[in-house]
Amino acid sequence: MDDGKKGIKNFIEMAIDEDLARGKVKQIVTRFPPEPNGYLHIGHAKSICLNFGIAKKYQGRCHLRFDDTNPEKEEQEYIESIEKDVHWLGFDWGEHLYYASDYYERFYFYAEELIEKGLAYVDDLNAQEIREYRGTLTAPGKVSPFRTRSLEENLDLFRRMKAGEFKDGEKVLRAKIDMASPNMNMRDPVIYRIKKTAHPRTGDKWCIYPMYDFAHCISDAIEGITHSICTLEFEDHRPLYDWFLDNISIENHPRQIEFARLNLTQTVMSKRRLLTLVSEGYVRGWDDPRMPTIAGLRRRGYTPESIRAFAEAVGVAKAYSVVDSAMLEHFVRDDLNKRAPRVMGVLHPLKVIIDNYPQNKEEWLEAENNPNDEDSGVRSVPFSREIYIEDDDFMEIPAKKYFRLSPGREVRLKHAYYITCTHVVKNDDGTIKEIHCDYDPESRGGWTADERKVRGTLHWVSAAHSVKAEIRLYEPLLREGEGDFQELLNEGSQTVIDDARLEPGLGNVKPGSHFQFLRLGYFISDPDSSDGRPVFNRIVGLKDTWAKVSR
Ligand code: ATP
Ligand code: MG
């Protein structure tokens, strides 16, 4: 793991330093190049933090470029969500917003240049044949019978492809490199295909579209990118990236550097699979709090600070690995611990009646907002004769080491009084209806003059003052194990509690507010909240399973 804070540089920064030292580059320019065919996920966040982070560190700049060369799957909704997510993470591309589709004329120009240099040809083989002719990792490919067309014929056919004279798939333009190359990407890769599909930005202007490998390196070069940082699966494409740029008349030649993709346990991390979850209705939408999308993480309650800290801690690696989701949770817990106000809420209410407390009395007790933040101050919470506690904070016959409420036992109510259980009242079916207690008026504020000890401290809300709330609890999207993600889907990934009770101050908070519910975890108010009917998502519980094993 790399630790930027200690000043240890990762291999990408070392490569950049090297290029700066030998004067190859002056100002560092990076880019984040998403394809607008879905919402961004935490893997993209890693790439965003890396690219924008490096630009910042080196006082350079980072571009946002939509890689929109595939007209069929791309949508405006995705473009808008991507811009929103990058901004939300805390990064800004300034005036450097680009679209690969802005460069269609340039791509076309360079394709003709390759033809004129005898380095590209129009092929009539269909997709199936091209695949067969390509050979395998152990056997060289076979040369297409159309590979020897003259420059004039190639140029004429390519222009006619552009003019729409041929059907989809009837012809392609290919680079003329080496059908026997040990690198399959170099076996005359396709550069242009015919696709009579309108493009969201260029409309019907084009019916031929460039392939990714061709468009990407040229886009980088046009924009003056110095370091083109991408994921490991493009390592084998680097010779092609360099070949294109070496063979066209463009000056800038960015350096491609690869790092390992971020993967997390018990979730899916590809836009295609995430789209399946959304379109098949497994989740509420792209921003479902269970989704590893940035929109989902935001709605779940993750903060930009926590995601940036996570990305930094993960570092960059050259080898594939899967990061424990508990590590991501650790960083949001760490962040919210410092700043989330503490409040009380009861998820599974059990009525407690304090018999020796006056019938119509109410008191407003002082409660600290955050012991970790001196400036956070205090608030008042109401106390009265009838309260709710968590139903598992009472056991009629206490188990060993159970120190919470049970008959005859005294416990502390946080910020309030000591209470002792006197008896239990049951329903006809034997379930518990309510608990009866007596309180010690001398214990106001949660301590007594005789310093008598109690072993349990419970959270609670005043019944009459409390607000009903919907609480959504989450578990990982996937169960542990190996196999197809659809078979691993965790049916219990969401639990909805619709009659939780919260302290009254939580009745009308604006969506997106973070809290620590004492003893229960961190929560955020959800946009589904309505007047007097708040909805909260649990972000994470209080227990840190990652910090324990790793420190
Ligand atoms: P997916 O496979 O999830 O659809 P993608 O790589 O096709 O992802 P792009 O929109 O092409 O998505 O990616 C934009 C940038 O984000 C690329 O530079 C890509 O390398 C990077 N990226 C995508 N997934 C990850 C990941 N899991 N970890 C780190 N970087 C990633
Ligand atoms: Mg992609």
Helix 42-57 × helix 11-21 angle, to 10°: 30
Q: Whose CA is nearest to atom 15 of ligand 1?
A: 34
Return the bridge partners of 227, or none: 255
Atom number, ligand 1, closest to the C-alpha of residue 38? 4
**How would residue 1 be classed by pLDDT, with cut points 50, 70 and 90?**
very low
> pTM of the predicted model, to two decimals?
0.94
CATH of 345-462, one of 3.10.20.30, 1.10.3720.10, 2.40.240.10, 3.40.50.2300: 2.40.240.10
If you measure from the C-alpha of residue 315 to the centroid of ligand 1, how many angstroms do you get, rounded to a whole number? 16
Comparing CA positions, the residue from 327, 337, 344 lying closest to residue 416 is 344
Distance, in Å, from the CA atom of 303 to the CA atom of 331, rounded to the nearest integer, reads 9
Q: What is the per-residue pLDDT for 465?
A: 97
Q: What is the pLDDT of residues 498-523, one digit of tens each?
A: 999 999 999 989 999 999 999 999 99
Identical fold at 345-462 and 471-550?
yes
| Sign, CA torsion 231/234/235/239 | negative
Domain ranges of the chain: 11-259, 345-462, 471-550
Residue range 11-259, CATH number: 3.40.50.620
Burial class of 349 by CB neighbour count within 10 A (0 to 12, 13 to 18, 19+): buried
What share of the chain in percent tops pLDDT 90?
Answer: 93
Q: Which ligand is nearest to the CA of 36?
A: 1
Indicate whether residue 12 lines ligand 1 (CB < 6 A): no
- CA 362 to chain centroid, in Å, comes to 45
Over residues 28-36, mean pLDDT: 97
Q: Whose CA is nearest to atom 13 of ligand 1?
A: 34
Q: Whose CA is nearest to atom 22 of ligand 1?
A: 44
Indicate whether residue 292 lines ligand 1 (CB < 6 A): no
Q: What HEC string does 35-76 produce?
A: CCCCCCEHHHHHHHHHHHHHHHHCCCEEEEEECCCCCCCCCH
**How would residue 74 be classed by pLDDT, with cut points 50, 70 and 90?**
confident
Atom number, ligand 1, closest to the C-alpha of residue 46? 29
Q: What is the per-residue pLDDT for 291?
A: 98
Over residues 302-330, mean pLDDT: 95
Q: What is the pLDDT of residues 183-223, one digit of tens each?
A: 999 999 999 999 999 999 999 999 999 999 999 999 999 99
Residues contacting 2, CB < 8 A, separation 6+: 8, 10, 315, 316, 317
Decide: 127 and 194 in contact? Cβ < 8 Å. Answer: no
Whole-number average pLDDT of the chain: 95
Residue 271 among the catalytic residues: yes
Indicate whether residue 247 lines ligand 1 (CB < 6 A): no
Decide: 381 and 460 in contact? Cβ < 8 Å. Answer: no
What fold does the segment set 471-550 form as a domain?
A: Ribosomal Protein L25; Chain P (2.40.240)
Q: What is the pLDDT of residues 247-276, one digit of tens each?
A: 999 999 999 999 999 999 999 999 999 999
Q: What is the pLDDT of residues 392-411, one digit of tens each?
A: 999 999 999 999 999 999 99
Q: How many Å from the N-terminal Cα to the C-terminal Cα in the chain?
A: 13
Distance, in Å, from the CA atom of 468 to the CA atom of 157, rounded to the nearest integer, reads 70
* pLDDT > 70? residue 6: no
* pLDDT > 90? residue 75: no
If you measure from the C-alpha of residue 442 to the centroid of ligand 2, how many angstroms do you get, rounded to a whole number? 66
Tell me the DSSP string of 202-244.
TBTS-SEEE-HHHHHHHHHHHTT-SEEEEEGGGGGGHHHHHHH
Of the listed 73, 195, 261, 533, which one is catalytic?
261
Q: Which ligand is nearest to the CA of 311?
A: 1
Residue 533 among the catalytic residues: no
Q: What is the per-residue pLDDT for 150?
A: 98
If you measure from the C-alpha of residue 529 to the centroid of ligand 2, how many angstroms do you get, rounded to a whole number? 35
If you measure from the C-alpha of residue 35 to the centroid of ligand 2, how many angstroms do you get, rounded to a whole number? 6
Of the listed 255, 271, 290, 299, which one is catalytic?
271
**How would residue 548 be classed by pLDDT, with cut points 50, 70 and 90?**
low
Q: What is the per-residue pLDDT for 44?
A: 98
Q: What is the per-residue pLDDT for 517?
A: 98
Q: What is the pLDDT of residues 132-166, one digit of tens each?
A: 999 999 999 999 999 999 999 999 999 999 999 99
If you measure from the C-alpha of residue 230 to the centroid of ligand 1, how many angstroms do you get, rounded to a whole number? 8
Return the bridge partners of 472, or none: 496, 537
Indicate whether residue 267 lines ligand 1 (CB < 6 A): no
